[in-house]
Chains A and B, each alone.
Chain A
């Protein structure tokens, strides 16, 4: 950890001395704020209508009507925004020639990858934390269940961690940041639409495609269910991304 910390610090400095982190965080907050406001507004109007009928009123649930759709919306925004955070991680080092400094220092390649990845996770955490601030008001003026709420944010964080793992891998393959972002975005979209293909598939294929889809694993978390298989899926996805990054860097040096 001692060797990783300087890399994390340097990456955070790079994020926050360039406009990219500010833009990504601002746009994310703007969109999350908009969706939250819209959903609360819609929830209010529905709740008022349902209040006129006691049978329906039992079904009013802020977690299901506000937070579950909010988390789904945020997951799509993350899919669009996170490639912009990961695109520069290795691409820029390669382009600027600074990878020679890193790889000739006594810090190992794995420590460098982890340092960069953890820095991007800190930015992701900051984004999610800031987006959570307005939602806290629902706890002051309402009574949502905290567990599905917290699970939803944990799910978003794990989803983002998987996205960033993939993004780090693509950024290690090219020195062009745009190419890195487009490839990350394309791959994430592919994994997103796998669940659509899963609906039309049958038998084992359906299970495989559903298992591979990001969002199938996310659904349960928005309902407050933490399934170990979902946790394993996201963590192994992120780990696989970092493993491939290490392989790419080692291969490039050893070829």
Chain B
């Protein structure tokens, strides 16, 4: 649904993005991750036709961004980092205006506005001036305008920035609900957002692609072994040796108060480990996966771990 090939953008001598190639499948929510000035906004602006690329190719919804910009713009809903609203307009008038410039037929305009209001939960403020509504509602208005023409692809640049925790949860729910009908690409600094909302990520740093894929795929790339951390009532050598005797277990050792049990990535030993704990009455208090969390993954990729 979104595909780039060697996408490069230069501002004079400054290279904002370089040879960026990635793919986002239909019906998925994909996160664009990277530190500040990594080139996330530039990438999104190129995909939406706001900026032309210096080199390379980008396809959105089957159209070439540079050859068929109008068809691409018709297929994309875009929420820039700064919510593009006119404070002097009411929510309804603003959405009506966006519907018109997005070329929604006149006969369908009212229906499109009603649908966007419904999806974004703007019913309580639809008749109010945008200058008088809260930041959270403004963000919702921004998302509603991106959805007004029912685009195949929705691109959201930092959709939860500046919101309070309750509003963040609401907006994330809203984004997740888009998955059924749209392909979504969102940029964010919040790694937790990626784990909660996204099916996969594109990680860029200094304008270059560092990694791309689902979180499981990326995590697996860094790990040869799978495993669990166990917290038991008691942890001693006798208990460690019980786990070592379990067929398929490669490594068992203490890490602080927890026992780390590892096995080859091709197997799943979690059931056997739990059964052993219960049979031997080891007092299992907690068990969690050793899979890399998103923060670890991100830091390793951004610091060049993927290349190594």
Contacts and interface: CB of A to CB of B under 8 A. Distances in A.
A14 interface: yes
Contacts of B73: 104-106
A103 interface: yes
B97 A9 contact: yes
Contacts of A202: none
A63 to B, nearest CB: 42
B80 A100 contact: yes
B88 A105 contact: no
A48 interface: no
Given A10-B86, A97-B84, A98-B86, A104 B48 contact: yes
Interface in B46-96: 48-52, 70, 73-74, 76, 78, 80-89, 93
Interface stretch (B98-106, B165-173, B178-186, B281-289): B98-106
A5 B50 CA distance: 22
Nearest to B49: A104
Given A253-B51, A255-B12, A13 B100 contact: no
A18 interface: yes
Contacts of B93: 13
Contact of A255 (B11, B50, B78): B11
A238 B87 CA distance: 30
A78 interface: no
B43 interface: no
A98 B80 CA distance: 9
Contacts of A9: 97, 100
Nearest to B52: A254
Contact of A6 (B48, B86, B87, B97): B97
Interface in A1-58: 3, 5-7, 9-10, 13-14, 17-18
Contact of A100 (B11, B50, B74): B50
Contact of B84 (A6, A14, A101): A101
A101 B89 contact: no
Given A97-B80, A104-B49, A106-B73, A17 B88 contact: yes
For the complex, would chain B's binding face be called helix, strand, loop or mixed by DSSP majority? loop
Nearest to B155: A104
Contact of A102 (B88, B89, B101): B101
Contacts of B150: none
A96 interface: yes
B145 interface: yes
Nearest to A252: B51
Contacts of A99: 84
A144 to B, nearest CB: 41
The contact size tier of chain A is: 20 to 34
B86 A14 contact: yes
A14 to B, nearest CB: 6
Contact of A96 (B45, B86, B98): B86
A221 B138 CA distance: 51
A105 B52 contact: no
Contacts of A106: 70, 73-74, 101-103
Interface in B1-54: 11-12, 45, 48-52
Interface string A86-123: 00000000001111111111111000000000000000
A107 B50 CA distance: 12
Contacts of B145: 101
Contacts of A97: 80-84
A107 B78 contact: no
Nearest to A101: B84
Nearest to B84: A101
Nearest to B87: A96
Nearest to B129: A17
Nearest to B74: A106
Contacts of A5: 100
Contacts of A6: 97, 100-101
Nearest to B101: A105
Contacts of A96: 82, 84-87
Nearest to A92: B86
B88 A13 contact: yes
Contacts of B82: 96-97, 100
Given A3-B103, A106-B102, 9 more contacts: A13-B88, A13-B89, A17-B88, A100-B78, A100-B84, A102-B101, A103-B50, A104-B49, A104-B73
23 contacts: A3-B101, A3-B103, A6-B101, A9-B97, A9-B100, A13-B88, A96-B84, A96-B87, A97-B82, A98-B86, A100-B48, A100-B78, A100-B80, A101-B78, A101-B84, A103-B50, A104-B78, A105-B98, A105-B102, A106-B74, A106-B102, A253-B50, A253-B51
Closest 9 CB pairs of A and B: A97-B82, A6-B100, A101-B84, A17-B88, A100-B80, A98-B84, A105-B101, A104-B48, A106-B73
